[in-house]
Structure 1
């Protein structure tokens, strides 16, 4: 891959992850309107799937044609990843607190690096390991995980939290397989179609008509389905199609950085010196993971 295409791939990943970082705006608004966590996941995946299918049908309906023998890839991205990691993440928040749940979720890049080594033969380089360490420490500082309230920590919560990181990682693995044969728009469309098939009967029918009567609710549902979902996944998947899974996943850890900055901008939160240091760690990891060779030596 040329250097310019390599940069473009990371720009896609960075923009997609940045859009993931604004999800809290819509989730907070819908929560205030009485939506439960799983109901929010449901409206997210259903609205995204409707928008994606409509868009793809309008520009090239052939992109919606798949070999149903390849359904396992989309079951992987839609159900094993999107649905499972959402359930595990929300459960972890209830069990161990938001800060610890976020850190456990961001074990995802480590899972991606290991799984990519196993399934795709991607090298486990010192540069990737260094970037993972920077990412972990950066996230710990940005999310202000310390001091940890030991009374809130449970073994079940930790295991479910690690499960959320594993589920988060599976999108990059199954997505990479699907991208060998299909366009990124096809991959994300069927990701959310399969996710919707699961979420509609389990949580969708719990949404009452009264919850959908407000214009504000619909604006937030559409915003949630488009910006941090359909568009974000499209940009990330475009980047994933151009670089190694492990590198894309590490670069995507700018998400908590963006989420923190959103909190500062919208909710007047105050950044601590440790959060600023954490942001520098994350940005350093994103820069570090982009370079493959120094002086002709693979890193």
Structure 2
């Protein structure tokens, strides 16, 4: 399998996984609070990686361990809580568009904080792609007389902050962790996150929930699926993609998510 083909395959898989994450977050709201959804998500992602982390921990250089853990906090832990809270009030289409600010954040942070020299063609390509994505999402809604609610501006800012954190994490991984094995980085970093998320779940009364409730059961399973697929598997694939194809290409996955969402809606309408 060629490197280019493998990169595009991972790209498409990530689009599908992260595209479905929005629905799983919505489904999880039936029986869990936003904080519980995020905590279950990251705890589940870390829990499935604990057996692997035991073997991979010693393979992480000691001088890089702090950065590996910081990457999990910036790239997984904090965004999970921000998105879980924001999605309670925002339309998924708007959330998808805002999430697509990630490549722009990657470019801006790379230039101003990491002193990257990015070709102007790539910068304009990212901007043009974002504008095109917005138009492809908004125009069909205008034709169908649908609207995107711009209320709850504070919740909009939560996703903007999350995309900034994603952009920061992509640059951290690309500059400081690219030489490490992506599987080692993902398993160790997420396994460590079971400690803070386990504490949060305890504080939030997770063990006091009515586990006989169908709504609670469904929400927990949706959050666990979100964690295993949307955080654990996706993080490994994303780090591999950064290593294979570079930071900017990897961040463009967020452009594919709304497109797949729109394509899925189109198929549903035809049915």
Normalising by structure 1, report the TM-score.
0.72
| Unpaired runs of at least 5, structure 2 | none
Q: Indicate if the aligned counterparts of 1:41 and 1:86 stay in contact, CA closer than 8 A.
A: yes
Residue number in structure 1 paired with 2:124: 129
- Shift of the 161–63 alpha-carbon distance from structure 1 to 2, 3 Å rule, reads closer
- Select the residue among 197, 202, 214 that pairs with 2:195: 197
Query: Given the superposition, is the C-alpha separation of residues 225 and 131 from structure 1 closer, same or farther in structure 2, using an over 3 Å criterion?
Result: same
Of 38-47 and 253-262, the range deviating more from structure 2: 253-262
SS of the residue corresponding to residue 164 of structure 2 reads helix
Separation (CA, whole Å) in 2 of partners of 1:221 and 1:190: 21
Distance 2:56 2:163 in 1: 34
**For residues 50-199 of structure 1, what are the structure 2 equivalents within 5 Å?**
50-55=47-52, 57=54, 61-62=55-56, 65-93=59-87, 97-118=91-112, 119=114, 121-139=116-134, 141-142=136-137, 144=141, 147-149=147-149, 152=151, 154=153, 156-199=154-197
Count of aligned pairs: 260
Partner of 2:239: 237
Query: Which residue of the partner structure matches residue 277 of structure 1?
Result: none
Task: Establish whether residue 208 from structure 1 lines up as the match of residue 207 from structure 2.
Answer: yes
**Secondary structure in 1 matching 2:245:** coil
What SS does the corresponding residue of 1:241 show, helix, strand or coil? helix
Structure-2 separation of matches of 1:77 and 1:141: 32
- 1:43 Cα deviation (Å)? 1.0
Identify the match of residue 20 of structure 2 among 19, 22, 25. Answer: 22
Deviation string 1:136-186 (CA, Å, 9 cap, x unpaired) is 431454265974546x164x4454332121012223122224533421112
- 8 Å CA contact 2:14, 2:237 repeated in 1: yes
User: How far apart are residue 86 of structure 1 and its match?
Assistant: 2.8
C-alpha displacement of 1:14: 2.4
Secondary structure, aligned partner of 1:22: helix
Q: When the two structures are superposed, what TM-score results if normalisation uses the length of structure 2?
A: 0.78
**C-alpha displacement of 1:257:** 2.6
**Cα 1:66–1:106 shift into 2, 3 Å:** same
